[in-house]
C-alpha cells in the first residue's frame, strides 16, 4: 500500500485523535489552504488536459514552493500518470495530481532517518547552525525544556557571541527552562565557549549539550571556518560528537530556505533539518523540495508558539496535515 492509499484509508476511518496529529493538522492549516487555493485556481478555467494545462500546473507547483527541479519532475511524471489513468474530468485530474504528490513525497523519504541520535555513553552534543532569524535560539530553548521534562540533564552553550543580544536571549531561555548556560562576553571566542561547555558537560555528567552558533559573520567564508573550528573542538574532547548537526530553517522564506540549506550543506556536514514557523507559512511544500533536492532529513518542525509545538518530524502526520481535505475520502468497508 502506497502512502497515498494509507492516507486515504485514514481519512475514511475518521481523523486520528492523537495530539500530535492534531498539532500537524492545525500547524499546517495555512499551507493546506494555500495549496488548495492554488489547485482550485488551476482548475477554475480547466478545459482539457493539454500542454497549456501542464504549463500552468508547473507554474502552480513552483509557486507552492516545491522547488523548480521538483516541479519540472512532477509535471513530467504527472503527464504520464494522467494518461495512464485516462483522467479527463477536472476532479479526476485533481486527484491524480494529489496522489502523485503524496506518493513522490513518500518515495523521496524512503529509508530516511528522521530520529534524533543520542550518545550511547557520555554527553550527547547537538550543534545548531543556520542564518540569523531562522529560530535557532528559540528552538534550542524549546528542545531543552522538552529534554528536561523527559528526565535528561541539559546544558546550553551560547556559541553565538557576535549577534547583539544572542547571549542574553539564550540565558533567558536557560532561566525559563531552569538549565545552566555556558557563556562569555559579547564578541568573545565561540570555540572557547564551546570548549568550556563540553568540558563542563563531561565533568558534571550532563546528558545533553545544546550548542548555539552564529548565523552571520563578516562573510560566508568566515562563518563556515568558525563552524568548522567549533566542530573540531567538540570532536577533540568527544570523538563521537556531535551526534547531530541541525540546520534551522525558517519555513516562511520558502525557496530562500532551500538555498540556505544547499549552501550550509556544501561546507558543513548536516545531519538533519529543523523547519520552524510552519504554522505561519503557506510554504509547507518546501519539505518536498528539501527531500528531492537536498536529501537531508527533516528531524524537527515548529508548528506553533507553545513549548510543545516543536515536534519530532512525522512524515505521515505531515502529509495528513498538508493534504487533508484535498484527498477524496474512502469510507472503510
Point out the annotated binding site for GTP. 130-137, 212-216, 276-279
Identify which of 67, 1, 22 has the alpha carbon closest to the alpha carbon of residue 292.
67
Distance CA 327, CA 126 (A): 38
Distance CA 60, CA 189 (A): 47
Provide the β-strand partners of residue 310: 302
Distance CA 137, CA 21 (A): 26
Q: Which SS3 state, helix, strand or coil, does residue 303 take?
A: coil
Q: Which SS3 state, helix, strand or coil, does residue 287 take?
A: helix
Write down the number of H helices and E strands in the chain. 13, 8
Strands (E), the chain: 124-129, 154-159, 181-182, 208-213, 244-250, 272-276, 298-302, 310-312
Distance CA 44, CA 37 (A): 10
CA separation (Å) from 296 to 36, 160, 234, 266, 303? 27, 24, 22, 12, 20
**How is residue 119 written as a grid cell?**
550518545
**In the sheet where 124-129 sits, what is the strand order?**
181-182, 154-159, 208-213, 124-129, 244-250, 272-276, 298-302, 310-312
Residue 134 sits at the vertex; the CA angle it makes with 294 and 290, to the nearest 5 degrees, is 15
Q: Which SS3 state, helix, strand or coil, does residue 69 take?
A: helix
Q: Give phi and psi for 270, each to the nearest 5.
A: -95, 135
Amino acid at each position: 500500500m502506497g502512502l497515498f492509499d494509507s492516507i486515504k484509508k485514514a481519512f475514511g476511518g475518521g481523523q486520528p485523535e492523537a495530539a500530535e496529529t492534531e498539532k500537524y493538522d492545525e500547524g499546517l492549516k495555512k499551507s493546506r489552504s494555500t495549496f488548495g487555493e492554488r489547485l482550485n485556481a488551476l482548475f477554475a478555467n480547466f478545459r482539457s488536459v493539454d500542454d497549456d494545462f501542464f504549463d500552468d500546473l508547473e507554474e502552480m507547483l513552483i509557486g507552492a514552493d516545491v522547488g523548480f527541479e521538483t516541479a519540472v519532475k512532477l509535471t513530467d511524471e504527472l503527464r504520464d500518470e494522467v494518461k495512464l489513468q485516462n483522467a479527463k474530468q477536472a476532479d479526476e485530474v485533481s486527484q491524480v495530481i494529489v496522489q502523485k504528490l503524496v506518493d513522490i513525497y513518500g518515495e523521496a523519504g524512503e529509508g530516511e532517518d528522521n530520529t534524533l541520535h543520542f550518545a550511547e555513553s557520555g554527553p550527547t552534543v547537538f550543534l545548531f547552525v543556520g542564518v540569523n532569524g531562522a529560530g535557532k535560539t528559540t528552538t534550542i530553548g524549546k528542545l531543552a525544556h522538552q529534554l528536561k521534562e523527559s528526565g535528561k540533564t541539559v546544558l546550553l552553550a551560547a556559541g553565538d557571541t557576535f549577534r547583539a543580544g544572542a547571549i542574553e536571549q539564550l540565558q533567558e531561555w536557560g532561566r525559563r527552562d531552569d538549565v545552566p548556560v555556558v557563556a562569555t562576553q559579547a564578541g568573545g571566542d565561540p570555540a572557547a565557549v564551546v570548549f568550556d561547555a563540553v568540558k563542563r558537560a563531561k565533568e558534571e555528567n550532563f546528558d545533553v549539550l545544546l550548542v548555539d552558533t552564529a548565523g552571520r559573520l563578516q562573510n560566508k567564508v568566515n562563518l563556515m571556518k568558525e563552524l568548522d573550528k567549533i566542530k573540531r573542538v567538540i570532536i577533540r574532547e568527544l570523538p563521537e560528537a556531535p551526534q547531530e548537526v541541525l540546520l534551522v530553517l525558517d519555513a516562511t522564506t520558502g525557496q530562500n530556505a532551500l538555498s540556505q540549506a544547499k549552501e550550509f550543506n556544501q561546507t558543513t556536514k548536516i545531519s538533519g533539518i529543523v523547519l520552524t514557523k510552519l504554522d505561519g507559512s503557506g510554504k509547507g511544500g518546501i519539505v518536498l523540495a528539501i527531500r528531492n533536492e537536498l536529501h537531508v532529513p527533516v528531524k524537527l518542525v515548529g508548528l506553533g508558539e507553545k513549548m510543545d509545538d516543536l515536534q519530532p518530524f512525522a512524515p505521515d502526520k505531515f502529509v495528513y496535515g498538508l493534504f487533508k481535505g484535498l484527498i477524496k475520502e474512502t469510507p472503510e468497508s
